Amino acid sequence: MVPLVKLKSFEQFNCSLAQTLSVIGEHWTLLIIRDAFFGLTRFDQFHKSLGISRNVLTLRLKKLVEEGVLHKSEGPGHPEYRLSEKGLALQPILVAMTQWGEQHMPHSEGERIVFTDLQNGRRIRPVSICADDGRVLGPSDLRTQFGPGVWNGESAPRQPDTLTAVLSGVIGTGSDSSEH
């Protein structure tokens, strides 16, 4: 059950995406979280839903509790696992991934899943990147800037200066590049 080669860890990267992947990037973790959003709380429910080994499920649940994504109930009876605030905050990621799957890997018989607004029954919008005035932004509308957590980090994955240069040249189409 122990992998032969220890996987290089995401945690070593001083990158917010890699940090997120260090918590939710293991096989099965996002499907466990999906099931928690669906209201499953008990080990046997997750086990039946996913069909993975009890060993792997135990490891994944333990990690999610340690990371504060799930709360584990203490007390008599079977323990229950429920999403914490930190876990509930993953919902936009899960919905965005589900919508991407619906759009780019559709089922031949039609939609598998539709998210609606409980208040009025209407479909929600596609999860998007929005400017502060609500405009939907595409890949060439976004600038990525580095803050003190990268500059003072011990293990930034590469030089931010280089990255910024690469970014402006390749996906930046705003004033920086159009003036040249």
Residues 100-119 that bind its own copies (CB under 8 A): 100-119
User: 19: which 2 tokens?
Assistant: 């940090």
Residue number, 5 or 74, with CB nearest to its own copies: 5
Q: How far apart are CA 124 and CA 102, in angstroms?
A: 14
Helix-helix angle 91-104:29-37, to 10 degrees: 110
- When the beta carbons of 58 and 140 are compared against its own copies, the nearer one is 140
Q: Are 44 and 52 in contact (CB under 8 A)?
A: no
Q: Could you say which of 43, 47, 49, 59 contacts its own copies (CB under 8 A)?
A: 49
Kind and range of the H or E element at 164?
helix 160-170
- Residue 59 and residue 164: Cα distance in Å, rounded? 39
114-173 binders of its own copies (CB under 8 A): 114-132, 134-135, 137-153, 157-158, 163, 166-167, 169-173
Total residues interacting with its own copies, rule: CB under 8 A: 113
Q: Which of residues 26-45 bind its own copies (CB under 8 A)?
A: 27, 30-31, 34, 37-41
